[in-house]
Amino acid sequence: MSEYQICKRCVMDTIGDPNITFDKEGYCNYCTDGLIRLNSMNFPTDMSKVETLFQKIKDDCKDDPYDCLVGVSGGLDSSYIIYLGHKFGLRMLGIHIDDGLDTELAKKNIQQLCEKAHLELVNVQPDPEQYRDLTLSFFKAGVPNLAIPQDNLILAALTDTVKKYHLRYLLHGSNASMEGILQSGNTYTAADDVHIRAIQKQFSGKPIDKLRLLTTFENSILRHFRRDVIRVTPLNLMDYRFDVAVKELHDFCGYEYYGAKHHESVLTRFMQCWYLPEKFEADKRKSHLSSLIISGQMTREEALDKLAQPKYPSEEMKEADFNTLAAFLGIPRKEFDLLIAQPAHSHDEYPKSFVSNKLVPALLNIRTKLHRKNRS
Ligand SMILES: [Zn+2]
């Protein structure tokens, strides 16, 4: 077993991560690559790039009923995008997956934000019984990414809404400022319906025909190579800062931050605080805090202090989440405790689609090489 090592610049370390490497100064591959990406983006200090983008969207869509689609999760990044869009007068259509696992705070944040931003909201409710059964199958499979069914339903709903309303733009909250570092491994794409169906077949066998799942073909071929909708990431066109976003959102609609990333859903909070660290030695806080370090929003010492705190904000919250999830899955709490104590498994142990696992990465690789060749 190799010796424990932690990066001297960020807080990524060797625990549960076979992909981390270090240079001779003791800096890891994550922050070294992350800094190169950040430096190449050259964020302006004003909002000129965002304004130009939003104006282009308005001009392109002036004869359409909406300027763009935006996913609504209650999370900080997507909430801030909605706030910005509202400020600049974009006519946005919001889409929210109401799967029964939003935290009370997320419900409140979403309601207040939509009200203040006058956001028209499409609320998608998956068939409760089939969604419950599918999520239970993922728990039984013991794979790291339990949120694959939830994420696939979101992708499918976004795809269908784009088509239904002939939307041309999708505003997305992803950003290099707070997500510049993401630990690799311990996950798999949500867009592989072959993987989802195989796990459901093995652990339940019950139909999931009432759930609109995005197929591998739709995601891989249509999304990467046809480009029906233009996905834009305005937060990468500005100096996006965590403290500023929280304060502006709070002043705008009383938004309250959850304390940590992905804490807006009971399922993802359980994954971040207990399931991934306990079962897979993957403490995702390290990625989030390291991202803040390299974007100059936190010192390494502050990040180490935060890491020394318990992952679950409180024991009461942990108990409540475990009880909520057991009730959601329709099993007694004791059975839930036994289920999550089962051995961990990798996504590789279950069938995957050849298209999304092999073919599309190979085609994307060829496309990237061709782009590079054309540019040189
Ligand atoms: Zn590092």
Residues of the chain with pLDDT > 90, as a percent, come to 78
**Cα-to-centroid distance, 15 and ligand 1 (Å):** 13
pLDDT of residue 223: 62
Distance between Cα 299 and ligand 1 center (Å): 13
Task: Specify the pLDDT at position 203.
Answer: 98
Considering 18-27, 183-192, 346-355, the range whose residues carry the highest mean pLDDT is 18-27
d(CA 29, CA 36): 11
Task: Please give the distance, rounded to the nearest whole angstrom, from the Cα atom of residue 286 to the centre of ligand 1.
Answer: 10
What's the gap in Å between 3 CA and the centre of ligand 1?
A: 17
Domain boundaries, the chain: 45-359
**Ligand 1 mean position to 37 CA, how many Å?**
14
Report residue 222's pLDDT band, with 50, 70 and 90 as the boundaries.
low
Does the global pTM surpass 0.75?
A: yes
Ligand 1 geometric centre to CA of 40 (Å):
18
Of the two residues 270 and 163, the one the predictor is more confident about is 270
Q: How many whole angstroms from 303 Cα to the centroid of ligand 1? A: 12
* Distance from Cα 308 to the centre of ligand 1, integer Å: 18
Write out the CATH class of domain 45-359.
Answer: alpha beta
Structure tokens at 239: 């100096």
Give the distance (Å) from ligand 1 centre to CA of residue 2.
Answer: 18
Tell me, in angstroms, the distance from the centre of ligand 1 to residue 8's CA. Answer: 7
pLDDT digit string (tens) for 285-328? Answer: 999 999 999 999 999 999 999 999 999 999 999 999 999 999 99
Task: For residues 119-124, give the mean pLDDT.
Answer: 95
**Interval between CA 290 and ligand 1 midpoint (Å):** 7
281 close to 144: Cβ distance less than 8 angstroms = no
Q: Three-class SS of residue 68?
A: strand
Residue 6 Cα to ligand 1 midpoint, Å, equals 8
358 pLDDT band (50/70/90 cuts)? Answer: confident
Ligand 1 center to 288 CA (angstroms): 12
**Rounded distance from Cα 249 to ligand 1 centre (Å):** 30
Higher pLDDT, 1 or 336: 336
241 alpha carbon – ligand 1 mean position (Å): 20
> Taking the CB of residue 243, how many other CB atoms lie within 10 A of it?
10
76 C-alpha to center of ligand 1: Å?
Answer: 24
- Bridge partner residues of 13 (DSSP): 6
For residue range 127-140, list pLDDT tens digits in order: 999 999 999 999 99
Cβ atoms of residues 157 and 126 within 8 Å: no
Is the per-residue pLDDT at 373 higher than 80?
no
H or E element, residue 245: helix 242-253
Residue 280 CA to ligand 1 centre (angstroms): 20
Strands (E), the chain: 68-71, 92-97, 120-124, 169-171, 230-232
* CA–CA gap between residue 138 and residue 363 (Å, rounded): 29
Average pLDDT over residues 194-221: 92
Output the pLDDT for position 375.
Answer: 65
- Are 290 and 181 within 8 A, CB to CB? yes
More confident: 223 or 188: 188
- Taking only the tens place, the pLDDT of each residue in 52-110 is 999 999 999 999 999 999 999 999 999 999 999 999 999 999 999 999 999 999 999 99
Is 361's pLDDT higher than 90? no
Residue 227 has pLDDT above 80, yes or no: no
